[in-house]
């Protein structure tokens, strides 16, 4: 099952909104086949594992280890439960049940009805960690939210003069582009758009600068509370080439907003201008578009809108914090999260460390929010 979980990661960024799934076939104590879900709309892990065999008959009597309950419905591909039954496997070991309504125990039931022995909940916690973004979208309709920022060793995201390029080194920035290349949307606020005029796309990630093809092209999302991007901004000038979505409150200029639509931007009107309500509505709308992972690229004011200082509720699920080997100092130098901030310390958002990486003299900390 650990091997199957490792294989599943290979589908990250390629299979969403489907889940990442791995499958290993074992017979007489030996691994005879393996596979994972490689691309959205393509064969699932179980089918790829069966296809990896020398001959189909090798699967007879084998045990299949699968990281998620095999699907049992006709979607873009035939059901995997039927494929395993037809192959003649004797046993299926499943890491966890799939909460997707069209599966949700149906795959396990079909296998058992066919006389196949099924063992479930093997390394279930590991599977839930791997599949957390998929599980959140299926169970809540809202995408997994990743917040990313770079800060100095003394916690500043810019100098007192509001200069921020560059806090982290080139290797760290290459990894940021890899992250951009596997998410469904990159979200920024108007402060970042006006200050940096960003492209918000995934660019070359190789150390030698060679171009590399990202798994997916993220939608570029801007939350517009009072202001709108300029027609001369990089986002608007490339809106016909890279999808650019504007989530606009009723306070923005409707005439100017219409002109940006003519330039290729897609507009999503929001009901109000309360920052937290805008964030919630935006996430719900992104979920309606079958988005699994969205990434916040700043700035501090936007990040502040993902917290409720009265209750401590946090709408971010995962944090990628890049710590650059620099010091800025200054009481007025900004930190990564603005807004009112929390009062009582017991309302603090609690995190668990998910990963630590070193890029030259930079460090990346990956945290996940504790439920």
- At 40 the pLDDT is 94
3-state DSSP percent of the chain in helix, strand and coil, to 5 = 30, 20, 50
pLDDT band, residue 311 (cuts 50/70/90): confident
Domain spans of the chain?
Answer: 1-130, 141-369
Q: Is 37 annotated as a binding residue?
A: no
Distance CA 83, CA 93 (A): 15
Mean pLDDT of the 128-140 span: 97
pLDDT band, residue 340 (cuts 50/70/90): confident
Q: Is 303 annotated as a binding residue?
A: yes
Residues taking part in catalysis: 46
Residue 109 pLDDT exceeds 70: yes
Q: Is 80 annotated as a binding residue?
A: yes
Beta strands in 78-175, from DSSP E residues, in sequence order: 91-94, 117-119, 144-152
Mean pLDDT of the 89-112 span: 96
Residue 364 pLDDT exceeds 90: yes
Residue among 38, 45, 46, 102 nearest 74 (CA): 102
Mean pLDDT of the 269-283 span: 94
342-352 confidence digits (pLDDT tens): 888 888 999 99
193-252 confidence digits (pLDDT tens): 998 899 999 876 555 556 667 888 999 999 999 999 999 999 999 999 999 999 999 999
> For the domain with range 141-369, which CATH number is right: 3.20.80.10, 3.40.430.10, 3.40.50.300, 3.40.50.970?
3.40.430.10
Q: Is 200 annotated as a binding residue?
A: yes
Q: Is 98 annotated as a binding residue?
A: no
Assigned architecture for domain 1-130: 3-Layer(aba) Sandwich (3.40)
């Amino acid at each position: 099952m650990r091997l199957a979980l490792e294989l599943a990661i290979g589908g990250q960024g390629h299979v969403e909104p489907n889940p990442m799934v791995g499958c290993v076939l074992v017979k007489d104590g030996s691994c005879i086949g393996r596979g994972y879900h490689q691309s959205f709309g393509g064969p699932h892990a179980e089918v790829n594992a069966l296809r990896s065999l020398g001959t189909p008959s090798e699967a007879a009597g084998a045990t299949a280890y699968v990281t998620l309950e095999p699907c049992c419905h006709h979607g873009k591909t035939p059901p995997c439960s039927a494929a395993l039954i037809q192959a003649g496997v004797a046993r299926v070991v499943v890491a966890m049940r799939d909460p997707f309504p069209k599966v949700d125990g149906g795959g396990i039931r079909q296998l058992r009805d066919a006389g196949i022995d099924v063992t479930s909940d093997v390394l279930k916690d590991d599977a839930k960690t791997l599949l957390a973004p998929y599980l959140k979208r299926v169970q809540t309709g809202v995408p997994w939210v990743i917040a990313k920022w770079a800060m100095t060793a003394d916690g500043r995201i810019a100098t007192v003069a509001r200069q921020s390029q560059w806090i982290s080194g080139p290797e760290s920035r290459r990894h940021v582009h890899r992250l951009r290349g596997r998410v469904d949307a990159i979200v920024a606020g108007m402060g970042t758009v006006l200050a940096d005029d960003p492209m918000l796309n995934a660019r070359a990630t190789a150390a030698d600068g060679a171009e590399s093809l990202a798994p997916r092209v993220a939608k570029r999302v801007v939350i517009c509370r009072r202001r709108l991007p300029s027609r001369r901004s990089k986002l608007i000038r490339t809106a016909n080439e890279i999808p650019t979505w504007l989530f606009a409150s009723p306070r923005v200029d409707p005439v100017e907003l219409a002109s940006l639509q003519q330039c290729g931007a897609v507009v999503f009107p929001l009901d109000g201008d309360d920052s937290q309500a805008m964030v919630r509505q935006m996430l719900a709308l992104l979920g309606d578009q079958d988005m699994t992972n969205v990434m916040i690229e700043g700035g501090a004011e936007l990040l502040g809108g993902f917290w409720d200082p009265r209750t401590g509720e946090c709408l971010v699920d995962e944090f990628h914090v890049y710590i650059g080997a620099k010091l800025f100092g200054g009481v007025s130098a900004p930190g990564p999260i603005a807004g009112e901030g929390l009062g009582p310390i017991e309302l603090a958002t609690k995190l668990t460390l998910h990963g630590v990486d070193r890029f030259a003299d930079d460090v990346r900390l990956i945290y996940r929010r504790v439920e």
